[in-house]
Structure 1
Amino acid sequence: MHFTKATFLAAFASTSSAYSATGRTFAVNHFYGKGPLTQGRMDPIISPGVASGHVHAIQGGNAFALSMTDDQALGSTCTSSLVKNDKSNYWTPSLYFKDPQTGSLESVDMFYMNVYYFFEATTDKIEAFQPGHRMVIGNPELRSPPATGGKSILDLNDGTPQPVQWTCPRSNTNSPLYPVNSDGLHGAGIQDPGNAGAGVGFPDQNCDGYASPLRADIHFPSCYNPAAGLDNYKENMQFPTNGNCPTGWVHTPHLFYEVYWNTPVFASRWTQGQGTQPFVLSNGDPTGYGLHADFIAGWDVDTLQQVIDNCNAGDSGMDKCPGLIGGLNDPSTSCNIASPIQETIFGTMSALPGNNPIGQWGVAPAGAPAASNASGPVATSTAAPAVSSATSAVGKVASTPVADPVSASSVPVLSQAASSQAAVPTTLAVSSTAPIASSTGSSPAAGTTPVTVPVASGGDSVATTWASYTTLVYTTVTNSGSVAAPTSTGTSSSTVAAGWSSLGCYQDVANNRVMTGIELANIGNHQVTNTKCVAYCAKAGYSMAGTEFGGQCFCANSLRVTTKLDDSKCNMPCEGDSTQICGGGATLSVYSMGESTSRRSMRIRGSRL
Structure 2
Amino acid sequence: MQPTIHSVAAGLALLAPGARALLRFSCSQLVVERLDPLVFPGVTASPHVHQIIGGNAFNASMEHPRVDLPSQATCTTCTFADDLSNYWTAVLYFRARNGTFKRVQQIPNLGFEAAQGGMTVYYTPSYNNAKVTAFKPGFRMIVGDPSYRTQAQASKYRQLTYTCLENILTRTGETMDLPKKPCKAGIMSNIRFPTCWDGKNLDTADHSSHVAYPQSGTFESGGPCPATHPVKIPQLFFEVIWDTTPFNNPADWPTDGSQPFVWSYGDPTGYGNHGDYVFGWKGDALQQAMDTNCNINCPQLRSQSIQQGNQCTVKKTVNEDIDGWLKELPGAMPVTDASGKVLY
Q: Shorter-chain TM-score: what band?
A: 0.7 to 0.9
Answering whether residue 199 of structure 2 is matched by residue 226 of structure 1, we say: yes
1:277 aligns with 2:259: yes
CA offsets, 1:186-212, max 9 Å, x none? Answer: xxxxxxxxx863211111211124xxx
**Residues 196, 89 of structure 1: CA spacing in aligned structure 2 closer, same or farther, 3 A cutoff?**
closer
- 1:115 paired to 2:121: yes
Letter in 1 for 2:329: L
State the 1:145 CA deviation. 1.6
Deviation of 1:322 after TM superposition, in Å, equals: 2.1
Q: Distance in 1 between matches of 2:132 and 2:179?
A: 36
* Counterpart in the other structure of 1:423: none
Counterparts of 1:110 and 1:205, CA distance in 2:
19
Residue 243 of structure 1 is matched in structure 2 by 223
Give the alignment partner of residue 357 of structure 1, picking from 326, 334, 339.
334
Q: Which has the higher contact order (CA 8 A, sep 6+)?
A: 2
What displacement does 1:131 show?
Answer: 1.9
Other structure's SS at 2:175 match: strand
Q: Matches of 1:26 and 1:97 in 2, distance apart?
A: 34
Residue identity in the other structure for 2:123: Y
Among residues 243, 267, 291, which one is paired with 1:309 in the alignment?
A: 291
Determine if contact 1:128/1:301 at 8 Å carries over to the other structure: no
CA positional deviation for 1:330: 6.2
How far has the Cα of 1:107 moved from its partner?
1.0
1:300 Cα deviation after fit: 1.4
Aligned AA (1:53): P
The equivalent of 1:85 in structure 2 is 82
Deviation per residue, 1:133-165 (Å, 9 max, x gap): 11101110111122787xxxxxxxxxx542211
Task: Name the structure 2 match of 1:25.
Answer: 21
Distance 1:307 1:54 in 2: 34
Structure number, greater radius of gyration: 1
- Output one character per residue of 1:245-294: Cα deviation in whole Å (capped at 9) or x when no partner: 34573321101111111110111253499741111100011111111110
User: Which residue does 1:338 correspond to in 2?
Assistant: 315
* Contact 1:95 1:108 survives alignment (8 Å): yes
Give the aligned residue type for 1:281. W
TM-score of the superposed pair, with normalisation by structure 1: 0.46
Gaps of 5+ in 2: 1-17, 108-116, 216-221
Deviations 1:85-121 (A, max 9, x none): 0000000001111002x11111111223111111122
- Show the counterpart of 1:187: none
Partner of residue 286, structure 1: 268
1:262 is aligned to 243
Which residue of structure 1 aligns with residue 92 of structure 2?
A: 95
* RMSD (Å) for aligned C-alpha atoms: 2.5
Please give the alpha-carbon distance, in whole angstroms, between the structure 2 residues aligned to 1:161 and 1:110. Answer: 24
Deviation per CA, 1:438-478: give whole Å up to 9, x if none.
Answer: xxxxxxxxxxxxxxxxxxxxxxxxxxxxxxxxxxxxxxxxx
Q: What does the per-residue CA deviation read over 1:508-542, in whole Å, with 9 as the maximum and x for residues that have no partner?
A: xxxxxxxxxxxxxxxxxxxxxxxxxxxxxxxxxxx
Look up the match of 2:138: 132
Q: Distance in 2 between matches of 1:26 and 1:196?
A: 20
Aligned mate of 1:323, from 300, 310, 316: 300
Where do residues 483-562 of structure 1 align in structure 2 (5 Å cutoff)? none
Using the aligned pairs only, state the percent identity. 35
How many Å separate the matches in 2 of 1:277 and 1:286? Answer: 8
The equivalent residue for 2:58 is: 64
Asked if the contact 2:254–2:260 (Cα under 8 Å) also holds between the matched residues in 1, the reply is no
Task: Tell me what 1:517 maps to.
Answer: none
1:365 CA drift (Å)? 5.9
**1: distance between equivalents of 2:238 and 2:152?**
20
For residues 294 and 49 of structure 1, the distance between their equivalents in structure 2, rounded to whole angstroms, comes to: 16
Paired amino acid for 1:108 = V
Write out per-residue CA displacement over residues 222-247 of structure 1, whole angstroms, 9 at most, x where no aligned residue: 11113333354131100123533345
Q: Is the 8 A contact 2:266 2:333 kept in 1?
A: yes
Partner of 2:178: 202
Q: Which position in structure 2 is the counterpart of 1:253?
A: 234
In the alignment, the residues of structure 2 paired with residue 273 and residue 311 of structure 1 have an alpha-carbon distance, to the nearest angstrom, of 52
Query: Which range moves more in the overlay, 114-123 or 269-278?
Result: 269-278
- Aligned residue pairs total 299
1:354-503 aligned at under 5 Å gives the runs 354-360=331-337, 362-364=338-340
Q: Give the AA of the match of 2:152.
A: P
Tell me whether 1:145 sits opposite 2:151 in the alignment: yes
Match 2:33 to one of 26, 40, 54: 40
Q: One-letter code of the match for 1:267? A: N
The residue type paired with residue 290 of structure 1 is G
Aligned 8 A contact 2:138 2:202 in 1: no
Find the aligned partners of 1:356 and 1:58 in 2 and give their Cα distance: 19
The answer to whether the Cα contact below 8 Å between 1:169 and 1:197 also exists between their aligned partners in 2 is no
Report if the CA contact (8 A) 2:144-2:157 is conserved: no
Report the alpha carbon displacement of residue 66 of structure 1 after superposing the two structures with TM. Answer: 0.5
Please give the per-residue CA displacement for 1:330-380, whole angstroms capped at 9, x wherever unaligned: 6255111122111111121101111001113x32368xxxxxxxxxxxxxx
Supply the distance in 2 between the matched residues of 1:267 and 1:25 (Cα, whole angstroms).
Answer: 37
Cα–Cα, structure 1 residues 353 and 141, in superposed 2: closer, same or farther, change >3 Å? same
